[in-house]
Amino acid sequence: MNSTFEVLIKAIMANDDLEKREKFIRRNSAKIVPLVHWLCKTICSLETNDCNDPERKKSHNEDESNSNDLIRFSLDCVLIISSAAASTMDSDKQTSEQISQAVMSETDFLHHLNDHITNEQITDLDRHLGILVNFTRHISFVQSLVTNVLNPFPLDKFISGFQTKFQSKECQKSRPLMVAYLNNLCQCEEIRNRLIDGKVLHSLMIIYDYHQEDTNDHIELRLSIIELIRNCCIDYRYHERIISEEDPELLVRLVMPLAGGEVLTDEEMESLPLDLQYLPDDKQRELNADIRRLLIEAIHQFCSTKYGREIIRSTNIYYHLREYYRWEQREDLREVLMRLIDVIIKKEDEINVDNLRELEIPDDLMEKFERLDHGDQ
């Protein structure tokens, strides 16, 4: 090992103060970049030797532990460096780009990370996922990863393998990181397309339903799932592929956590989709306020077009939203919810525009909004 690399690694791994560690990495970015190249190549070399070296296979039992320890140590080092590169602040932009470019050029290493995430036999994922989550915060890295790794894999195989791994019980603890990684990948339109066409969003909501405990792990997972779905729904071009009058399942699943067991009239109850009818008296609503906000925002995305608004009205989910409004104690969420309800109860001739996202705001009104944003009178 290069003596400079040894000094750098010791300095990075010995410092327990996250902020100081990241400052050290940014301050020494010119030296860190070649270290990153070396670490990526070392990890791939160790993995390849373990698989292909006949002599190593003979002494497998005695060498495997040392080799795995070295791989994990190297991955930990890359993970720490990636956390410094994850910053999106302008002051850190140059360092982030330099380190990201270094990893982007190591396609064998990226293939190694991807293989671990999609291989059903491997359950030790958190280091690999953490590295990818940090780097894929940058759209340029996502585009490079999709072009050079996921598309050749190919992409459909990646989505299928990812989904299988996500649903396996052995990877339960890695699910929040897996969703965070998928969420970052959704910056790429091609990924969003595949998730929607593959009904992955529906599968994620099933996982959401099974993680209702009020623990940090469960809350983090539920939050990540709804955030991902909300982000996919922001683009109104997908709405006709996500929900329809014949298949409003995803919309129903988004409403369910906001619904309680209040008594509705028979007429109201029977006008709802079957899964939202006659809920138990003790039906609990989502307890986390941040998740409730994301659920409201996700449903609201469908209100941007006439198509989405009409489907929402046809399902009569308004009745559950009305009861939820009466239950909600937080004024900020009541305001967000009221904006959603207001759009739902309006008639289309009152709205008088097909797509609210394409609504043109007159220049004089834009100037007034900008003055208000800046606190001007």
Q: Is the pLDDT of residue 301 over 80?
A: yes
Tell me the chain's radius of gyration from C-alpha atoms.
25
Mark residue 352 as left, alpha or beta (left: phi above 0; alpha: psi -120 to 50; beta: remaining): left
Q: Which two tokens stand for residue 39?
A: 């670490």
Cα 11 to the center of its chain, rounded Å: 32
In a domain, 344, yes or no: yes
User: Measured between alpha carbons, how far is 8 from 350 in angstroms, rounded to an integer?
Assistant: 65
Query: Is 97 among the domain residues?
Result: yes
For 7-49, what is each residue's pLDDT tens digit? Answer: 999 999 988 888 899 889 999 999 999 999 999 999 999 987 7
- CB < 8 Å & 24+ apart, contacts of 245-252: 245/311, 245/314, 248/273, 248/311, 248/314, 248/315, 249/202, 250/201, 250/202, 250/205, 251/299, 251/302, 251/311, 251/312, 251/315, 251/317, 252/276, 252/315, 252/317
Range of the domain at 273: 245-377
Give how many domains the chain has, as a whole number: 2
Domain annotation covers residue 153 = no
Residue 185 maps to a domain = no
Is the pLDDT assigned to residue 69 strictly greater than 50? yes
Indicate if the pLDDT at residue 357 is higher than 70. Answer: no
Question: What is the C-alpha to C-alpha distance for residues 226 and 232, in angstroms, rounded to an integer?
Answer: 10
Q: Name the residue type at position 63.
A: D
* Model pLDDT, residue 53: 53
Q: Which amino acid is at 258?
A: L
- What are 131's two structure tokens? 């590295």
**Single residue among 83, 105, 127 that ends a domain in this structure:** 105
Q: What is the pLDDT at residue 52?
A: 52
- What are residue 212's phi and psi, to 5 degrees? -105, 5
Is the per-residue pLDDT at 99 higher than 50?
yes
**DSSP characters for 173-211?**
GGHHHHHHHHHHHTTSHHHHHHHHHTTHHHHHHHHHHT-
DSSP string, 31-58: HHHHHHHHHHHHHHHHHHHHHH-HHHHH
Q: pLDDT at position 128, please?
A: 96
**237 occurs within a structural domain:** no
Residue 129 lies inside a defined structural domain of this protein: no
What pLDDT, in 10s, does the model give residues 186-242?
999 999 999 998 889 999 999 999 999 999 999 999 999 999 999 999 999 999 999
Among the listed ranges 62-76, 112-126, 132-146, 167-181, which one has the minimum average pLDDT value? Answer: 62-76
- Name every residue whose Cβ is closer than 8 Å to that of residue 91 and which is 6 or more positions away in sequence: none
User: Is 15 part of any domain?
Assistant: yes
Of 57, 80, 105, which closes a domain? 105
> How long a stretch of residues is the chain?
377
| Final residue before a domain boundary, out of 82, 105, 128 | 105
The pLDDT of residue 198 = 80
Least confident of 21-25, 87-91, 365-369: 365-369
What does pLDDT average to over the chain?
89
Residue 105 scores a pLDDT above 70: yes
133 in any annotated domain: no
| Triad 336, 342, 343: Cα angle to 5° | 100
Contact (Cβ atoms closer than 8 angstroms) between residue 257 and residue 291? yes
Neighbour tally for 354: CB within 10 Å? 13
Residue 364 has which token pair?
């004089």
Closest CA to 249 of 211, 231, 285, 276: 276
Distance, in Å, from the CA atom of 101 to the CA atom of 140, rounded to the nearest integer, reads 9
**Taking a C-beta distance cutoff of 8 angstroms, is the pair 250, 301 a contact?**
no
What tens digit of pLDDT does each residue of 319-352 get? 999 999 999 999 999 999 999 999 999 988 888 7
How far apart, in whole angstroms, are the C-alpha atoms of residue 168 and residue 108?
A: 26
